[in-house]
Structure 1
Amino acid sequence: MPNASTWDWNPGRREVQDVSSWSSKFERVEEFYASSDGEKVGAVVKTGEGEFTACVNGQAWEDRYERVFYLKFSPDGRLAVITQQDGEWTLAVDGVSWPETYGYIWRTMFGANGSINCAVQQDGEYGMGTDGVLWENLFVNANNFTISGDGTKTAAVVQVTPIAQADIETFDKGAFTIAVNGEAWDSVFMNCYSPVFDAKSERVACEVRRTLYDYTIAVDGRIWQREFQCVWDPCFNPVTGAIAAPVRLGGKWGMAQDGEVIWPAEFAQCWHQQFSADGKNLWAIVATSIGKFTVAKNGTPWNIKVPVVLDLAVSPDGNRAAALGKTDYVYTVSCDDKVWNDSYDMAWKPVFSPDSTKVAAKVEKKGRFTIVLDGKAYGQDFEQCWEPVFSPCSTKVLIRAVDGGKFVRIVADVSDF
């Protein structure tokens, strides 16, 4: 997460950049991206025939590339982009490319320590790179890439045994495992999915498929002693280190912790679980029956039910939650088992204030965008805007938006909603 305490939180509206003028400077301007603090706006621009680069606050980078895409601002405001030149790929950060080029590169991720990480393919082998340094060991296949919370470690599902076409016997014996910083576990499985680090960045858990019909959770290569019909992504309790994962038993879904069922298998679906920061509450998206989704806290579902629930957010104190509901093509925002009065053409993941008392979300209606706080819309809509950010004191909201061809930075008081 970015350190918002150092940002400018003086109330008011400030024009950061006249982005409408970019179209007269460049042959083409692609989608805009905003930095977390709202001080920078960037986009891919076409500077000539087959020439592209990145532009930040109206200034184009010096180097030109055949292709530029996947712009992402780091938490500290650096712009990272994936570039291609002469058929080779690399990452450029604030206009400076990593020293090596690769067969392909994707999935840029930022570590809390300032590291920049990517998935990499080099000479037909796969792994991860951190600040331009690749894993020492690469693999014939790698996927489900992730990084630890502190940014010091990377992990992925990797294939450690070659499998020829139609070689069912080798597949049955197991050919996949987890590699951490390029070092593979000794245990192999039929399949692995969704590795995740614990809060201390020391342990890794993942879903594993033992046989065609048996699934469980593995932790640092060791499996739970119980198997299930299916499992979903595990997560660590940030305080105790216990591991929770949705599990399927008898055709229904429940929740298991360290191999023992803690929520009875009585749901049609159960997934996207999150522990509160203090580890005392466990939240998840559940379906009480087919097509009736809601949110559950410690196994107890909310009363509201909708066809789809997504983007669960838990408050910092762990006692509140918010999520999006979707019925046909209409989105709603629910918080504390209550649905906000308005509905939207699109909505984005809710954001809680640091003190847990307020929740805001970016929404779209009739092609215009705005921010809604506790169900009340800001007094203006925009051509484009980004997810809201609360001030550390929870009394202000940063709105980053494009309004009338201008990229603006608005610090609004919560009373403005």
Structure 2
Amino acid sequence: MKLRSLCLTILLLTLCPGGSQPLWGQAPAVDAAKVKTRRPDAAKKTDAPDPFLDPASGRFSLNRTLEFAKQLAQGNYGNRARLFQAYEKRGVDFPGSPANLQALQSAGAEPDFLNIIKRIALPYVPPAPTVVTTGTIVVSCVPSPASKPFSGSPECEIALGKRAPVATRDGKFTFEGVEPGEVALEVSKAGFVTQSRSVRVQARSISAPAITLEPNAETRIVMGKSWLAEVWKALGAGDRGAGLQEISASGSATLFDTAGADSRWDIVAKLSEKATSTLELKFPAGQSAMTLECRVGASCRLNKASGGFGGRGKRKIPLSDDDASILLKEFRRIHLGNMISRLTGPEVRVTSSDTRPSGVRSIQLESNDETYEVEVGVNMLIGSVLAKSKLGGDSYQVVYADYVKLAENAQYPRRTETRLQTGKRGIRIEFAGPVTRIG
């Protein structure tokens, strides 16, 4: 053992002179001059690649790019060059569409970053133009001209097909995206008749139906009452026509008998409901022929002058006493003052009204015995009255024309004419001189 220990000590002193540690596992010294230089490209790589710069990490999405843009704008991203390099290497997975570029600008993308995105973005293909396959309907609705003062609001309600009804604005409403074909349209308004019609719709075209609404029965009655009030005011008729019942005038009278033959006379008329009324007929030569005298509370009487209807000896007037009496009585009954009194009676009521294409207004009234259709001109003066009996009597029409002004702004027609519709008998009175009030 002692000999073995001695041998180990001698060995250590030989290997480690001066007490140094042995170079366990160390390669022996190499002469640098004898070492051959290796090419750089042959050197062994020891650094791992940066995943952020590696194309294998995939393209950047739009959402991530927006986040980077915000960080750059806020100064919260450190290595701009590294970020830009990563985008150059990896690219993006979205197109450079106007919408995407606008989103990046809104996020605060700086110009350099935005230019990189524009260059590396996927190609942008604009969408194909949308092919319009539907049509448009522009509906307008207005009350009929004469009913406008009674229509209230100008708006109406429109229902198109199965769509919920909608209210117009300024009388119009536009329906868009309507499928081509026939579609039902319904227009309604309070106080007016609901109208329905079918509208043809074509793709990429506009249909513009204009609906004129007609008043319903209730509104027509309101219109008629309002128009009559204007008529009485324009005529200056007073209470139930009293202002036009006391009249004095002269002119001519043409009487038509049952055969339709006419004879012309001079006439002097004094019409009164308070005193005796007289209608005096004369031959043009001046000889008095007959006078119809009607006393208050009594029946009328026809007084004939001497010589009868002969006139100038041999001439015979084709007019019987009955015809003369009937026609003169008829004129007294239907002259304007008395006609207004009948039309304003307590039992008379307005049943409807209408407007003709010519602008003439028609007002329908009804009493217990008769129906009346009163035509009123644009000047609100009565043009005619058509009366029909409800009891089987004759129907007749009276025409009033050529109005003249009387005192106190009243107006009276110079010409009054009536024909019984069941025959040819009739009378035409034309006042040539002044028409004055009595009393």
Q: Same fold (TM over 0.5)?
A: no
TM interval, shorter chain, is under 0.3
Larger radius of gyration: 2
Query: Which has more helix, going by share of residues?
Result: 2
Query: Which has more strand, going by share of residues?
Result: 1
TM-score for both structures, normalised by structure 1: 0.21
TM-score for both structures, normalised by structure 2: 0.20
Greater relative CO (CA pairs within 8 A, separation 6+): 2
